[in-house]
A = this chain, B = another copy of it.
Amino acid sequence: MQEIVSTTTTDTKEQIISVAERLFAERGFAGTTLRTVIGEADVNLAAVHYHFGSKEELFRAAVKRFARPIVEQELALLAQLQEGGRVPTVEAILTALLTPSLEFLAQDKELLLVHTQFMGRCWAEPEPLKSIVRDEFAASMEAFLDVLQRALPDRSRSQLAWKFNLVIAALIRVQSEAGQPLALIQCTEPEAIRSAIEQLVKFLSPGMRS
């Protein structure tokens, strides 16, 4: 549908989202002012309202832009695991869940840290912002929970739900702390990311079965 007309996306709208994403990640929604956004994005204040309508809609646009490719890849990996009606292992399911968030955007090292921190902080936002994030990932979350239920049929749905919740918590924590002194993810080299995913899966899998 879209043609590649330039190597770098310097469109005003995308530029605003990129800066807002980073500031939301660092300071949260309420702690970020539109004036800071336009200052760093080098655009006019009125442009924000022209393109997005409001600060909250800008937040929604930022969430959608970074969430969609991740959810897409999560569901693709999950479908791949279930080809031919197979029931995947817990390890395979968790790997499919964690990989897109941590690896997908690793092409750009700076971007990965921004995105991971943005996602980490998104889950801590108060309503109605949290719902924006939750809704965007809802389809993927339900699909993973369904597959987990089939991999562990003798566990109750409610038990699987809160354990799954802790997996998400671990993912968010790893993302939030990325780059800090004693964090699991120290650098964004593809090899280091894959190693981190592997260690995370080893940490979490036994608990899912306990």
Hey, which bits of chain A sit against chain B, CB under 8 A? 26-31, 120-121, 123-126, 158, 161-163, 165-166, 168-170, 172-174, 176-177, 182-184, 202-204, 206-208, 210
Say what secondary structure dominates the interface of chain A.
helix
Number of copies: 2
Given known pairs A170-B169, A173-B169, A203-B166, the reply for A126 and B31 (CB within 8 Å) is yes
Cα A26 to Cα B125 in complex, Å, equals 9
List, in ascending order, chain B residues with CB within 8 A of A206's CB: 206-207, 210
* Among B31, B161, B210, contact of A203 (Cβ-Cβ < 8 Å): B210
Cα A202 to Cα B27 in complex, Å, equals 35
Given known pairs A124-B121, A158-B182, A182-B158, the reply for A163 and B28 (CB within 8 Å) is no
